[in-house]
Structure 1
């Protein structure tokens, strides 16, 4: 069985809820980046031992917040020795707006995975783009590069639409499944 890890930063709890749903689908462990942008040393060891890594970050002002960027910069130690070479990667982003420039954040996460020599996993789900579609449908935001989630700015994490949470579970399962197939 492949080991998958979800490493994320959450400023207000919304990204944390999505990370938990992704981890549930992937049967993965969770590593939270703290408010200072740090991970404990044991977390770096867990990332090194993982077969799959899923990045998660909110989108603030068109990109990942500085705490996630600090983690990304610190990953240069792993990059230098190719510690994450050929690992399977995925990623997700949360913002208050339906679009909110989350695609830009996902491209940043995908670029980070690619710099590490990783194999990126797309969302792999058809969009819910019919007239009858609702926010409760899977992939109702129409993502393809990775998971897109909308969380109202004036509500807690429990207000995230169930369609986004179910999409998170399915994406986590997809990343873990591909990591397991490539490990075999």
Structure 2
């Protein structure tokens, strides 16, 4: 979700609010979840957006996948080219200029998105392999 006024966008909040029946029947329990957001300012209160997604996922009993990517600018990579340049561990953060085109991200944010997506896919694969070899009760424990 984009970050608007320190939170998720209206359409994303509408989606969240529409999941009451899924919550009541725990249909999303043990599913993987992750969050990503973008705002026009370096902070832009993106952390509060990710936290609202995290709370939503926790209320549904989901498994949250964070961002383990080390900020590369500490290793000498130029800031705009560095992975995780905004230093987020709870999810993916990106920055785009106000009114910028939908694909107008600095190379580091695009790189981070690819790495984050790969991490999520690998986590899904790893946990899927565990679930395939163990009874459901063992995986849930």
Q: How high is the TM-score relative to the length of structure 2? A: 0.85
| Contact in 2 for aligned 1:87/1:179 (Cα 8 Å) | no
CA distance in 2, matches of 1:143, 1:134: 14
| Contact in 2 for aligned 1:129/1:142 (Cα 8 Å) | no
| Contact in 2 for aligned 1:133/1:140 (Cα 8 Å) | no
Aligned-partner SS, 1:157: coil
Q: How high is the TM-score relative to the length of structure 1? A: 0.66
Is residue 75 of structure 2 the alignment partner of residue 120 of structure 1? no
User: Which residue does the alignment assign to 1:31?
Assistant: none
**Structure with the bigger percentage of helix:** 2
User: Which residue does the alignment assign to 1:178?
Assistant: 123
Aligned-partner SS, 2:35: strand
Q: Which has the higher contact order (CA 8 A, sep 6+)?
A: 1
Q: How many residues align?
A: 128
User: Which residue does the alignment assign to 2:96?
Assistant: 151
Cα deviation for residue 154 of structure 1 reads 3.7
Q: What does residue range 7-156 of structure 1 map to in structure 2 within 5 Å?
A: 57-130=1-74, 133-156=78-101
**Structure with the bigger percentage of strand:** 1
CA distance in 1, matches of 2:99, 2:124: 37
Larger Rg: 2
Structure 2 unaligned runs (5+)?
Answer: 130-141
Cα deviation for residue 144 of structure 1 reads 0.6
